[in-house]
Structure 1
């Protein structure tokens, strides 16, 4: 990975919160809904970091799955897809974006199927219920990752 790649990744990471908030409002959510998107994103990041570490790629796969499952359950699949697309915009690695899209789609399918169970939970409660699901999907190969060259 060259210096330019590192700079692109840093810029992408540093603009995440404003990008997600703007994507949520463009998807039709008001300020409170957009703020909830940020809360869900933070909870997914924290839960994945806690429960996914130790195996390359697992944290990222879990984060995308749990994030999109919860957003889909709360706001619908169209909003979740729109926010996911905005998050991937400008990502330096196309291969990583394809993997994220796969894991996002798995989360969207799960969130659609289990919307009634997930929609009323706090972000933290939603992540607690999704961690064992995500770990099981990781073990079965339903959530994936690609080693970067």
Structure 2
């Protein structure tokens, strides 16, 4: 990976919060709902880091699944899809973006099917409840990585 690639990755990572906020409000969410999108994103990052470490690709797969499941349950699939698409804008890695789209869709399906359970309580509690589900989906190869696991 060259210096230009590293700079592109840093810019993409550094603009994540404003990109998510803007995507949430463009999807029709209120300011407080956009704030909740950020809390859900933070909770998914934290939970995935805790439960996914040690296996290449697992943290990213868990994060996308949990993030999109809770966003879908709380704000609907259309808003979740829009926010996910905004997150991938200017992504320096197209293969990773395709994998993310797959894992997002698995999360969205789960969020729709379990909306009542995921729509109540705090964002961190909703995300935490998904860690065992995400790990099961990883082990069954429903969640994927760029390389097979």
TM, length-normalised to structure 2: 0.97
1:128: Cα distance to partner? 1.6
The equivalent of 2:112 in structure 1 is 112
User: C-alpha separation between the residues in 2 aligned to 1:86 and 1:146?
Assistant: 20
Where 2:112 maps in the other structure, the secondary structure is helix
TM-score of the pair, normalised by structure 1: 0.97
After TM superposition, where is structure 1 displaced by more than 4 Å over at least 4 residues in a row? Answer: none
SS at match of 2:121: coil
Query: 1:127: which partner in 2?
Result: 127
* Corresponding residue number in structure 2 for 1:35: 35
Distance in 2 separating the partners of 1:43 and 1:128: 8
Structure 2: 5+ residue runs without aligned partners? none
CA RMSD in angstroms comes to: 0.6
- In structure 1, stretches of 5+ residues that fail to align are none
Alpha-carbon distance between aligned partners in 1 of 2:88 and 2:37, rounded to the nearest angstrom = 15
Post-superposition offset of 1:121: 2.4
Aligned mates of 2:119, 2:57 — CA distance in 1: 27
